[in-house]
């Protein structure tokens, strides 16, 4: 699991740089300012959680259920949150109605919050 955490953090980090550059350059010509801002939110949260995954991967063993659930919450939550925002922002360019993804974004956000709460539990347990 630890290796998966580090790989996910690396992939998310690299993709956030790629998507950030895409949003700053190529997409500015085809998306509205509101769509660009939404896209950038996805990039920003993806990078934040890439960094978190890398830090956690270097410092935790991911041998306990709590740590495994935390890792999965961050991985799946980041994917659902950021990638649903990307697709929703790009739906006009893709020529598809992807409004069904609207509820996916808050579900991803909820999973990221769960990850943070589990991290808090981990830290409290380590301190006692």
pTM (predicted TM-score)? 0.95
Number of domains, the chain: 1
The pLDDT value given to residue 128: 64
Calculate Rg over the CA atoms of the chain: 16
- Predicted confidence (pLDDT) per residue in 74-104, tens digit: 999 999 999 999 999 999 999 999 999 999 9
- Does the pLDDT of residue 120 top 80, yes or no? yes
Share of the chain above pLDDT 90, in %: 97
Does the pLDDT of residue 69 top 70, yes or no?
Answer: yes
Please return the burial class of 30, using the count of CB atoms within 10 Å of its CB with bins 0-12, 13-18 and 19+. exposed
Judge whether 53 and 1 are in contact, CB under 8 Å: no
Residue 21 in this model has a pLDDT that exceeds 80? yes
What's the domain range around 99?
2-127
Q: Please give the average per-residue pLDDT across 26-44, as a whole number.
A: 95
Nearest-angstrom CA–CA distance, 40 and 34: 10
pLDDT at 127: 83
- Specify burial of residue 118 (Cβ count, 10 A radius: 0-12, 13-18, 19+): buried
């Amino acid at each position: 699991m630890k290796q998966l955490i580090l790989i996910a953090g690396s992939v998310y980090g690299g993709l956030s740089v790629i998507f950030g550059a895409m949003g700053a350059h190529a997409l500015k010509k085809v998306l509205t300012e509101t769509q660009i801002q939404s896209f950038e939110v996805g990039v920003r949260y993806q990078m934040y959680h890439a960094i978190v995954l890398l830090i956690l991967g270097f410092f935790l063993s991911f041998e306990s259920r709590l740590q495994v659930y935390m890792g999965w919450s961050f991985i799946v939550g980041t994917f659902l949150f950021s990638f649903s925002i990307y697709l929703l922002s790009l739906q006009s360019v893709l020529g598809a109605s992807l409004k069904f993804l609207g509820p996916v974004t808050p579900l991803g956000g909820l999973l990221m919050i769960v990850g943070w709460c589990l991290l808090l539990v981990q830290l409290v347990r380590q301190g006692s």
